[in-house]
A and B are shown apart, each in its own frame.
Chain A
């Protein structure tokens, strides 16, 4: 069943969490807004946590493997009591000796006294690990061991909680433990967040956070890149339709991504930023430039990172827009562009894997 595979997909997990914090009707919601209903609102998405100086020094002195800028999926906060939820989603549980343990130690410390120091007025955070249902017990065990280990190194981890995603009948069920109930005041143990799951239908809601990653489902590995590309092309189609002849439109991959991901680009890690930018340059910009290079009076100029488009008249505009608006003709690839390729747009890289 598609839903069973999806509960292990980090992009699906993250988007589901954000939808659960989004204002929606009590009846008729798209994803049950559990967090919204309980007063929690979005504070951050994929924002690396900055440790206060004292914690950072204590981490250095501990000799333990601890990630210095752990990046939670999202942080939600509740103004009424300044409580926060700090989420990390995983496809699987892991052991204390896994490479994920260093990140988990970082998250545990971020949810200790360091949290209020960094994110005042929010005061108390609960670390919530979201894993597939059958991984809950192992995940809880691992977090308990890591907390003990941190405490014995005189560090101050915060409280943690383990949540699960699983399929129950035709519903996708989100469940939690007692720690979460105490922290939030929620009395139930679980809720159905998606309903009417069907074997032949992917239950994902619209993506709210975009990514260049492979989709774990092998049949459609390029799905998330396709969404990212469509989103950016839609922005280009809008901007260029509004462009009068003889005026120049100039943009960069970074600008377009900033506008279409609405600033989230600036929040995500440098590596991910670079690879999302690479997709826009190597797949969209290069394809546009190489297709129009052959034409007389190409409206397109690609200089380093800058895409410039000028229509000499309405005819040139409609010829260009007819092409750009036709997905069959543009056929932007959703394959991952090779990293080795030098990011020098305009210097022939379009002949590579981007067509």
Chain B
């Protein structure tokens, strides 16, 4: 069901009120066990040229290049209009699908009430088509830290929900592994699978919805005994305001299940600050906090940077490794890597290649036991987070990772506490 967003809002509060109205209606629907109107959802999108050596592009230019008509509402808030794919005839009429708020020069939030599948498709199209945009990647490691440090402390009797997704796609025959980017077809695929022959491979999807205290008591043991439970895919944040919650997904989507848009926006802003601090810590560790060389001429950047090292807790079979290698560098693969792999052994390759998504160089060592990645200085740290996310989702759910000598998970130590983040505004 499409709800038309206001297409001529004069001020952003008109939009907030619209979302609030929907939120109340949506929450009522949820309380009665049904979704009457689509839920408000937000996609946290990173504007990568803000950080890299590239000239930063104004937001309006990026969206214009994507065929989006934007209607400025105030200095950091604009409406998004795209051709209505569902309408008949040409040219297709424009329809307001949502609103973008620019949080800073690097991050945007796209607020929408489009159905999840359509909204994901649109955002995915934007980030695929524009080398300047990427999703905020909440890797399983980061979600786990958010659970440990925040959600698990929000009250034992409140309801929480964690979902886990791991699919060893490289254990499958090539054609079956050759899906495109994962999520967008996920739901459709799940529906179709009932009618399809089931391929024998590791494929785990779990949902744990329970009181937070119970989840906390059980999770550690469960994870120890079953590796896919390290592949955290989404995490529910109980609302600070009262009943209801907000669901955070790995690809930076946050869905409002509370009755307040302001509470939703505050949660999004909290998660944006958390993500941003982790990304900045990644970049600091990866490049900047390196002692300067003793003379004016710096020693090469690759030499200054530190590697991302990932160890798989379970070794890959030779067959799986080979399939991963034959697919990871193809255009449509989840890993979105480009390069000409050089084989150094039956289960070891080196690639001096590129991240297809942001078009920045990356050097990789891939083996059956883990990976080593080196990014040139000044490139966006998001690539590391996307890589770790995809490894846990599609290759090996239980990993240990470091940037330089720092455990990957400890990057989240830089995260402001939930209280601090809210106080900031």
Contacts and interface: CB of A to CB of B under 8 A. Distances in A.
Given A25-B405, A231-B361, A262-B377, A30 B307 contact: yes
Nearest to B289: A23
Contact of A201 (B346, B377, B404): B346
A137 interface: no
Contact of B363 (A79, A206, A237): A206
Given A202-B344, A230-B352, A325-B338, A29 B309 contact: yes
A186 interface: no
Interface stretch (A38-46, A281-289, A294-302): A38-46
A154 interface: no
Contacts of A260: 361
A interface, size bucket: 35 or more
A211 to B, nearest CB: 13
B344 A204 contact: yes
B75 interface: no
Nearest to B379: A238
Interface in B281-313: 290-291, 293-294, 297-304, 306-307, 309, 311
A45 B359 CA distance: 28
A230 B311 contact: no
B54 interface: yes
Contacts of B105: none
Q: Indicate the member of B340, B352, B374, B406 with the most A CB atoms within 10 Å.
A: B352
Given A22-B306, A234-B338, A234-B352, A79 B300 contact: no
A206 B354 contact: no
Interface in A319-345: 325, 327
B300 A263 contact: yes
A241 interface: yes
B293 A237 contact: no
A24 interface: yes
B365 interface: yes
Contacts of A41: 291
B340 A230 contact: yes
Contacts of B354: 234, 237-238
Contacts of B407: 25
B306 A30 contact: no
Given A223-B342, A262-B300, A263-B299, A241 B309 contact: no
Q: Indicate the member of A24, A29, A119, A227 with the most B CB atoms within 10 Å.
A: A24
Interface string A16-50: 00100011111011100000000001111100000
A349 B404 CA distance: 44
A267 B297 CA distance: 9
A42 B303 CA distance: 8
Contacts of A24: 306-307, 309, 402, 404-405
Contacts of B359: 237-239, 241-242
Interface string A261-276: 1111011000000000
Contacts of B400: 28
Contacts of B363: 206, 231
A206 B374 contact: yes
Interface string B90-108: 0000000000000000000
Contacts of A205: 365, 372
A97 B400 CA distance: 52
B265 interface: no
Interface in B185-237: none
Contacts of A138: none
Interface in A213-272: 223, 226-227, 230-231, 233-235, 237-239, 241-242, 260-264, 266-267
Contacts of A22: 303, 306-307
Nearest to A228: B352
B50 interface: no
Nearest to A21: B303
Interface string B321-362: 000000000000000001110101111101111100001110
A22 to B, nearest CB: 6
B131 interface: yes
B376 interface: yes
B309 A201 contact: no
A42 B293 CA distance: 7
Nearest to B373: A206
A157 interface: no
A230 B300 contact: no
A262 B302 contact: yes
Given A206-B365, A230-B342, A234-B338, A25 B301 contact: no
A133 B286 CA distance: 35
B340 A42 contact: no
Contacts of A202: 344-345, 348
B370 to A, nearest CB: 8
A101 interface: no
A226 B342 contact: yes
Contacts of A208: 300, 302-303, 374
A200 interface: yes
Contact of A30 (B294, B303, B304, B309): B309
A77 interface: yes
B55 to A, nearest CB: 10
A178 interface: no
A261 B300 contact: yes
Contacts of B346: 200-201
B297 A266 contact: yes
Given A208-B303, A230-B353, A264-B303, A30 B372 contact: yes
A238 B359 CA distance: 5
Contacts of A238: 354, 359-361
Contacts of A122: 294
Contacts of A95: none
Nearest to B372: A30
A262 B53 CA distance: 14
Given A23-B404, A238-B361, A263 B298 contact: yes
Given A25-B407, A227-B342, A238-B361, A262 B303 contact: yes
18 contacts: A23-B404, A28-B309, A44-B293, A77-B294, A206-B307, A227-B342, A230-B342, A231-B352, A233-B340, A234-B339, A234-B352, A234-B354, A237-B354, A238-B360, A260-B361, A263-B298, A325-B338, A327-B340
Closest 8 CB pairs of A and B: A201-B345, A262-B300, A262-B301, A264-B300, A327-B340, A23-B404, A202-B344, A230-B352
Interface of B: 54, 131, 290-291, 293-294, 297-304, 306-307, 309, 311, 338-340, 342, 344-348, 350-354, 359-361, 363-365, 372, 374, 376-377, 400, 402, 404-407
